[in-house]
Structures are given as C-alpha cells and as structure tokens.
C-alpha cells in the first residue's frame, strides 16, 4: 500500500478498557517534557507537590509511597513487607485478582486461608468474620476492592471495621477502585491501600502507589522484608525522594493528573464514574446483553462485565470493533474468555465517549446479523444520564 493509501487507513484508536485507559492530551504532553535529573532540586520540588496532593485521594493523613511498577508489583510489595514466611493470612477472593493475591502469598511461603464467592458476586462479610473466628491467628486480610475480572466490588469498609481493633492488617487492592469509588483509608480502618497510575489517574501504566497506616508500620518495622527493591523501609528512609531511579516522565505526567483531578474534585470524579457505570449497564441491557453482576449494589464503577446475547460471538464482536473501528474493549478472563465483554469506564471517560462506544457497537452488531433496533442503546443512555452533563477536568 502506498503512503496515500496508508493515510486513508489511519483512524483514531480508542479504548474502553478497565486499564490502561485513554490518557488525556494534557497528561501525555506533560510526560513528554524534557528529561530532568531525578536528584535535582527541580525534581524535588515536583515530588513535594505530588506528595502533598496524593493523600487527599486516599483520604488519609499518611504519606503515599510511589513505586516504579505495575499494580501487581504493589500487591507483591505489600505481601513481602508485611509477613514472615509461614504466617497465616486470609485472602478474600471473588475473581481473577483475588486469586492473584493467593498466588503471591503462596510464592512467599504464607499459609493461605481463602474466603471465596462465585465470580460476579461480593464476598459475604459474615463469612469473613466466621473464618476469623476459626483462624484467630491470622496476621492479615487481603482483598480486592473493585474486581475488574467480573465488575463486582467487595465491602472493604466493613472488612476494615471488622479488624480495626485487632492486630490483623487489612490490605486492600484499590488499584481500580480508587477515585472511581468512595474510599476513606483512615476512617475505614484500612492498613495498606494499593493503587496504580493506569486506572483512575488517567495515566500510562508504570506507577504504583502504597499508603501505609501506623498500625501497619509497627508490623513492617519488626519484619525483615523478603525484598530489596520494594522494601517499604527503604522508601520511608528516602522519602520524599525515591530510593532508586524513578520514572521521571511518569512523575511529570502524574503531577498533571493530580492537577486535573483536583480541579474536578474527588467527590465529583466518583459521582461521574457512578453515573457512567449506570448508563453503561442500561446500554448493554438495551442491546440484549446479560449483566454478569446481578446485584446492583455490588456493581463496579470501573468496569461492566456482560455476557453476549444468544447467537453473538463475543470474541468476534471485539475483534471487529478493534480491527474495523479502532475501538478496544476487553473480553472475559478465565472460563469466561470468548463469552463475555468488559467495558471499562474509568479515567477520563465521559458521556460523549459512551455514546460513541454504543453507536459503533450497534453498527457492528447489525453487520454481524444481530437484530438491533436502531438507536435503542442511545435512548437507554439518555434515560440513564437524565439529560444531564457530566463535567470533568
């Protein structure tokens, strides 16, 4: 194909995934600034500004430590810094990433007690309490807030309350739950809260965030960490600077991300995510998809998972959306691969994005021979949004 032909084939790429998310131009440009030295006074000033803003997103008075890592690195760091080999922990699992916590704990030689619920549901807090009574010697409880493999959330507030007055550490993977959902680390009694840049922060992947309570620090200070690079003691020693070379460009992008989030306001951002999530659910139902999470009270504001209507090949639908229109939507994980679609609605997404996503979905479904009433999902979105405008930074 000649150059002119290639230009005609070019199209804007869009993502409606639970991470990475679309990155606003302002954040992309901030990360493309000229490189500065990571030990310079200029870098120190930027880090100080970042560290003043980050705790407000966790609703904590504690410092936030920034790791050059994916979210999984933060999960591993929380385990390797908080427990000794042979310690017993309780993992709350209702999806792929709850299972990941179990895998990480097993690698580090911990004895794992699991409280599980079927994918698409939330773990019952009474079962967590029952497990604790049966295993009063557990050292920690590890749970995922928003399970992106299914679109279900766990009641981390209730879990924090249950263990607040005990010596048990509550470790929360809020990687996709922070910003999109309400989370108050100090008030809820959470001890280690994890997040990552490529979710609510609207950034490229590469940074992870760890908030640590005084209760957790008492334990961490008594343990020899089974990691060097991820040692929380090292992060605390070098704070506010990084103990090793940081991702300078990502930190420049993070500063802009925090500026945008501050301008919008945390509560406004959380409400925006909730409204977009509800509209997505109504749009999918209008097209005949079956919402995977049955209970509205435990549906995530981060991602909506849905099973395809009878006769629709979910994998083919996703392939055509991507190849023909440049739109990436993720599929199911584990046993639901090829049967499920997961529309991510976290980050900078707004209602205009949503109308575009569903408009193209209607078009592709029609091309696949599925009988779709023209504009039915548009009407569902309009009704769910109530005609209002969702403002974001």
What's the CA gap between 343 and 280, in Å, rounded? Answer: 8
Instruction: Per-residue pLDDT tens, the chain, 393 aa: give them.
Output: 455 445 446 678 899 999 999 999 999 999 999 999 999 999 999 999 999 999 999 999 999 999 999 999 999 999 999 999 999 999 999 999 999 999 999 999 999 999 999 999 999 999 999 999 999 999 999 999 999 999 999 999 999 999 999 999 999 999 999 999 999 999 999 999 999 999 999 999 999 999 999 999 999 999 989 999 999 999 999 999 999 999 999 999 999 999 999 999 999 999 999 999 999 999 999 999 999 999 999 999 999 999 999 889 999 999 999 999 999 999 987 788 888 999 999 999 999 999 999 999 999 999 999 999 999 999 999 999 985 444 443
164 appears as a binding residue in the annotation: no
pTM, two decimal places? 0.94
pLDDT given for residue 90 in this prediction: 98
Q: Which domains does the chain have, with CATH numbers?
A: 3-20+265-385 (3.90.1150.10), 25-263 (3.40.640.10)
Q: What is the pLDDT of residue 9?
A: 60
């Amino acid at each position: 194909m000649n150059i002119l032909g290639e230009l005609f084939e070019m199209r804007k790429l869009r993502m409606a995934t639970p991470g990475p998310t679309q990155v606003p131009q302002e954040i992309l440009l901030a990360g493309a600034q000229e490189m500065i030295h990571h030990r310079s006074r200029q870098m120190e000033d930027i880090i100080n500004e970042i560290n003043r803003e980050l705790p407000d997103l966790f609703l904590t008075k504690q410092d936030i430590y920034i790791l050059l890592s994916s979210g999984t690195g933060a999960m591993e760091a929380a385990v390797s810094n908080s427990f000794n080999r042979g310690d017993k922990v309780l993992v709350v699992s209702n999806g792929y990433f709850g299972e990941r916590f179990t895998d990480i704990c097993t690698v580090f030689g911990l004895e794992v007690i699991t409280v599980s619920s079927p994918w698409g549901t939330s773990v019952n807090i009474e079962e967590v309490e029952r497990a604790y009574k049966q295993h009063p010697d557990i050292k920690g409880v590890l749970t995922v807030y928003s399970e992106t493999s299914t679109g279900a959330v766990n009641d981390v507030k209730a879990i924090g309350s249950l263990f607040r007055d005990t010596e048990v550490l509550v470790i929360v993977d809020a990687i996709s739950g922070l910003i999109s959902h309400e989370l108050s680390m100090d008030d809820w009694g959470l001890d280690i809260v994890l997040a990552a840049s490529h979710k609510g922060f609207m950034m490229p992947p590469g940074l992870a965030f760890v908030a640590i309570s005084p209760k957790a620090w008492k334990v961490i200070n008594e343990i020899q960490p089974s990691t060097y690079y991820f040692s929380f003691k090292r992060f605390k020693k070098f704070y506010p600077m990084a103990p090793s070379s940081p991702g300078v460009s990502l930190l420049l992008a993070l500063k802009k991300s925090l500026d945008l989030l501050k301008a919008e306001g945390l509560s406004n951002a959380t409400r925006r995510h909730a409204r977009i999530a509800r509209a997505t659910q109504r749009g999918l139902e209008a097209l005949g998809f079956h919402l995977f999470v049955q209970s509205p009270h435990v549906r995530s504001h981060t991602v909506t998972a849905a099973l395809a209507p009878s006769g629709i090949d979910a994998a083919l639908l996703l392939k055509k959306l991507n190849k023909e229109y440049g739109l990436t939507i993720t599929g199911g994980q584990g046993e639901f691969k090829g049967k499920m679609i997961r529309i991510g609605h976290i980050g900078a997404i707004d209602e205009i994005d949503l109308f575009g996503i569903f408009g193209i979905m209607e078009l592709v479904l029609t091309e696949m021979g599925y009988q779709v009433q023209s504009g039915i999902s548009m009407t569902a979105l309009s009704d769910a949004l109530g005609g209002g405008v969702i403002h974001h930074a």
